[in-house]
Chain A
Amino acid sequence: MTAAFVLDKSLLLDGGRCSLALMCLAIPGKVTNIYGEEQLSRMGRIDFGGVLKEACLAYVPEAQIGDYVIVHAGFAISRLDEQEAKKVFEYLKEISELGADDSQPPERSQ
C-alpha cells in the first residue's frame, strides 16, 4: 500500500460527500522537503495545513523548501508569489483612493 492510495480527507469537500479526487481543484501547500536529482523527477513533500503529501516538482524548478506551491493531481503547477498575494487587499485600497469612476485597474493588457 503506497501513500498515494490513502484518501486524504483534507482534500475532500464536505467531509467526502462530494468526491474523492477533485479534478481541477488545486490547493496551496508548503514545500517541506525536496528529493530527486534531475528536474523531471524532482519530487517534494508538501504540507497542506498539517497533512503531508508527496507532489511532483518538475514544473516548478524555482520552488525551494519553505515556498508555497499550488498542487493539482499530484503536481505543483505554480509557486505562489508572496508580493502578488497581497494585491487582493491592495486593490481595495487603490480603488477607494482613486475614486470609483474613472480609475484604471492594474495589470491591464490592452
Chain B
Amino acid sequence: MKYVDEYRESDAAHRYVREIHLATSRSWTLMELCGGQTHAIIRHGLDALLPEKIELIHGPGCPVCVTPVEFIDKALTIARRPEVIFCSFGDMLRVPGSSSDLLSAKAAGADVRIVYSPLDAVRLAGQNPEKEVVFFGVGFETTAPATAMAVYQARLKGLSNFSMLVSHVLVPPAMTAILEEPGCRVQGFLAAGHVCAIMGWQEYLPIAAKYHVPVVVTGFEPLDILQGVLMCVRQLEQGHAAVENQYSRCVKPAGNPEARKMMAEVFKIVPRKWRGIGEIPESGLALTQKYSAFDAENRFGVEAVSVMESAKCQSGLVLQGRMKPNECPEFGGSCTPEHPLGATMVSSEGTCAAYYLYRRTAVMSP
C-alpha cells in the first residue's frame, strides 16, 4: 500500500537506528504525544532499538483516555432515553463511566450505534425524524473538523433532532500542563502529526521557546518515528529548542485552513477537565452561541453531572508520563482490556492497552 509500506522498510530503519546511536552522547527523555505513535512504538518494538540513554515516555494523546468519567455518565444518561439514537466512535463504548459503560447500556436495550463518520449520525437524524440523534463528539484537533462539519450540516439542513455531546480537547495546553508539573522529565516532544495536519506547527513555537524544549512534528510509521527521534536528539545534543517538521508529506506550516475555518465557525475554546489529570484552562472546545441549540448537554439537562474518579486507577500518572503501565500493581491482574479500570486500558490508543497487547509476555516472564 502506498505511503505505508515504504515507511516500514527495514534497511532504512536500521540506518536511522545507527544514526540515533551515533548522535546520542547523553541521556535524554522524549515524550511522544499521540497514542497512535505510542502504539506504533510498542507494536514495532522501536523503543528496544534505541540507545539505553534515550527514554520514550508516553503522553496524553489518547482522546478516549482523557475523556472525563462524567462525560461517559452524561452519555449513558442520554443514551438510555427511549427517544434517543446515541452514535459514537467504537472506541468509546467500553470506556467505564462511574457505574457502567455504553456497551452495557446497549446490551440492556439502549439504541447505541457505532459510526465511522460523524456525518453518518447526521444522515441518521434525517432518516429518523421521530428520534433524537445524539453524536458523542470526542477527540483532539484531528477529529474536531469532522464533528464541526456534522453540526454545521445539521444546522444547514434544519435538523432539529440532531445534537452533539461535545468533549473535544486540545494538545498545546496539555503540553504546557505537563511542562509546568513539578518534576517534569520531558526534554523534547514528538508532536502528533495528524493534529498538526489540521493546526499546523506554529502554535508550538511559543512552547519550544518558553520551556526550551525541541518539538518535532512526527508521523506514525516506524521510519517517521525513528526520524522524529533522531531530529529531536540532534537538537538536544546541540542545545537547540526549535520546532521541526518530520511529517512534511502531510503537515503544512499553517495546517489545513479549510478545516480550521470550520472549527472556528462551530467551536469556541473553553476550560476542560481531563481524565486522570484534572481541569486544564483553555484546553477544550465547546459549541459557540450560534450552534448552542445543538448542544446535547443542554437539550437533555445533563450539564451538572459530576463524579469522582476511581482511586485504584493510576491512569493520570500514566497519561502524564510519570508511570509506566507495567509499574501499576493492577496491570494485567485486576485491570485488563476485558475488564478495564480506566480508559488507558480500553482504548486502542491507550498506553496500558498497548503494553498489554504487545508487552504482556515480556512483562510476565521473570
By a beta-carbon cutoff of 8 Å, the part of chain A in contact with chain B is 2, 4-5, 7-8, 13-14, 17-26, 28, 30, 39-40, 48-49, 53, 55-56, 58-61, 68, 70, 72-75, 77-78, 80-82, 84-85, 87-89, 91-92, 95-96, 100, 102, 105, 107-110
B62: chain A residues within 8 A (beta carbon): 24
| B contact residues around A20 at 8 Å (CB) | 89-91, 93, 114
How far is A22 from B138 in the complex, measured between Cα atoms in Å?
12
- Docked Cα-Cα span, A95 to B23, in Å, equals 11
Give residues of chain B (109-156) contacting chain A, Cβ–Cβ below 8 Å: 113-120, 123, 138-140, 142-143, 145-146, 149, 152-153
A-B contact pairs, 28 of them (CB 8 A): A2-B120, A4-B120, A5-B120, A13-B39, A18-B348, A18-B353, A19-B90, A20-B91, A21-B91, A23-B348, A23-B349, A24-B63, A24-B143, A24-B349, A49-B1, A56-B117, A58-B258, A78-B256, A81-B249, A87-B249, A89-B12, A92-B15, A95-B19, A100-B22, A109-B201, A109-B243, A110-B205, A110-B209
Contact of A72 among B143, B205, B224, B262 (CB under 8 A): B143
Q: Is B187 an interface residue (CB 8 A)?
A: no
Which residues from B are CB-within-8-Å of A58? 149, 258, 262
Q: Is the CB of B91 within 8 A of A74?
A: no
Contact B119 A56 (CB under 8 A): yes
Interface residues of B, Cβ cutoff 8 Å to A: 1-4, 6-7, 12, 15-16, 19, 22-23, 34-36, 39, 43, 61-64, 89-91, 93, 113-120, 123, 138-140, 142-143, 145-146, 149, 152-153, 192, 194-195, 197-198, 201, 205, 208-209, 220, 223-224, 227, 230-231, 234-235, 238, 240-246, 248-252, 256, 258-259, 262, 347-349, 353, 357
